[in-house]
A = this chain, B = another copy of it.
Amino acid sequence: MTLTNNSKRRKELVSIAARLFFEQGYERTTVRMLADAMGIKSGSLFHHFNDKQEILCAVIQDGMESALEIAGEKLTGVTDPKERFLALARAHLSTLLTDRNAHVVALYEWRSLSEGSLEVLIGMRDEYEQLWQQVIDDCVTSGVLKGDVPLIRRFTLGALNWTVQWYDASGEKTPDDLANALAELIGIQL
């Protein structure tokens, strides 16, 4: 069966596709490039996916799942609002800058998805934003932050998402350093 299966093989292929989509963008990546990187011929790709955009959908789904998973892990057992904010920011930068593929694609290639794929993924995106919303809401309620919660969430995520454009993994700063610096910028200090 070909339709949305979850075979181990398919997961490997999705992971390779994530890398290429991250490096060159979805539109500039051809099915032949994908097949090459996967070590198969382009025709064989369509045994695993119905079309090219289904590959993108799988990558983005994977990216959202990891983001949710890592965020959940890092928040577990943390109760202080400031610490929860920091944990979430670190989780976010970790999936963006360390894992470095699927989550980035999930953020930047949204527009290339077909209507159908969108529906499935919007729920996951909302769930992830809801996580941020709650954490920031706690900060505002406890007086750690001041202002409009959705706006703070969007500015924060914007600042974090944009790190993809300039972060140099071979530099001195770790993703955690960046998370700390952003928290400090908006007045969050432990």
Measuring CB to CB, which residues of chain A are less than 8 angstroms from any residue of chain B?
24-25, 27-28, 111-112, 145-148, 151-152, 154-163, 165-166, 178, 181-182, 184-187
Contact = CB atoms under 8 A, between A and B. Distances in A.
B159 A155 contact: yes
A165 B166 CA distance: 18
Nearest to A156: B159
B162 A158 contact: yes
3 residue pairs, one from A and one from B, having the closest CB atoms? A158-B162, A27-B27, A155-B159
A182 B162 contact: no
A111 B165 CA distance: 10
B187 A187 contact: yes
Given A147-B181, A147-B184, A158-B162, 13 more contacts: A28-B111, A151-B178, A154-B166, A155-B162, A155-B181, A155-B182, A156-B159, A158-B159, A158-B160, A158-B165, A185-B186, A186-B187, A187-B187
